[in-house]
Amino acid sequence: MKLRGKRVLLHEMSLRDGMHPKRHQITLDQMVAIATALDEAGVPLIEVTHGDGLGGASINYGFPAHSDREYLEAVCPKMKRARISALLLPGIGTVDELRMAVDCGVGCIRVATHSTEADVSRQHIGLSRKLGVDTVGFLMMAHMIAPAALLEQAKLMESYGAQTVYVTDSAGYMLPDDVSARVALLRAELSTDTQVGFHGHHNLAMGIANSLAAIEAGAYRIDGSCAGLGAGAGNTPLEVFVAVLNRLGVEHGVDLYKISDAAEDLVVPLMDQPVRIDRDALILGYAGVYSSFLLFAQRAAEKYGLSSRDILVELGRRKTVGGQEDMIEDVALDMVKARQG
């Protein structure tokens, strides 16, 4: 793999995707401490939002320890170099929350839709550009459609004003060839001014391999998370990825020792359970299921005396997409009915 001399922009996820395994209960002090350490380590972009994005506070996804505004107001002013980003899923959050985030000092808005539904992002991407912040389109569950179909959706986001479009492997399902095919096509067909990004999940332990494949295929932005703190088996473990990039001679500007200290000293101690490829996270990647369903399925399994793996497989069979957390209890109740005959 010849990546020497390439440059990438790393985007840290532990304070947003990492909210999922924390059930959105990260404290303000923890947020500030981790973000400050990441800033100090040279991480250029740090995402801070409810796990399901702005406006995610809900029964369906979980009420967070603090509001998006409280988190952003605590973190943004503390940053010396890093820019803070916020995620927004149209249908969950609205332009009101987008404006709030920008008012708090967010410098990057990432608008996420299911990989086939880019046209719901027009108003949010448009407003984000109008407000003058770095604007990213984020195509989730990108494994579910073919590269050519994904390109059409990426072009829509680009036409609304997205300056970067992400191939997002929300289920941690993709293998390196799947990533290469999608990233390479986007890179070849989008404007040269548009950057391509890749967001991975580690459910099949492909986080690093997929991210390298993405860089090789032309991606400039890569998401990862300290100690992998993220939904499912977590995101691409960023401190490990930094080490690998150092070995390959890819420029990224992050200090390996400092980010690995942040991972070890700050992120690992706050984990409620090890973020690892347990049998359920494995099934997410194997069956192509949205990673943040993990804990919900485990809780439903416990409540109703079912196998969380069976619940996840059924959610995959029903072709659920990101955000359909409400279907988890529904599926569990159906399984209870079926068991009772």
Give the nearest distance from C-beta 125 to another protein in angstroms.
12
Select the residue interacting with another protein from 6, 69, 78, 122 (CB under 8 A).
122
Give the nearest distance from C-beta 92 to another protein in angstroms.
5
- Residue with Cβ nearer another protein (264 or 330): 330
C-alpha to C-alpha distance for 294 and 311, rounded to whole angstroms: 10
Q: Is 24 in the active site?
A: no
- Residue with Cβ nearer another protein (6 or 318): 318
Select the residue interacting with another protein from 23, 69, 129, 318 (CB under 8 A).
318
Nearest of 154, 116, 97, 107 to residue 135 by alpha carbon:
107
Find the part of the chain contacting another protein (CB under 8 A) among 19-27, 58-66, 131-139, 244-252.
58-66
Find the part of the chain contacting another protein (CB under 8 A) among 27-35, 176-184, 248-256, 330-338.
330-338
Residue 114 interacts with another protein (CB under 8 A): yes or no: yes
Select the residue interacting with another protein from 3, 33, 120, 131 (CB under 8 A).
120
Residue 58 interacts with another protein (CB under 8 A): yes or no: yes
Q: Which residues bind to another protein, rule: CB under 8 A?
A: 58-60, 90-92, 94-96, 114, 116-117, 119-120, 122-123, 318-321, 323-324, 326-327, 329-330, 333-334
Q: Which residues are catalytic?
A: 20
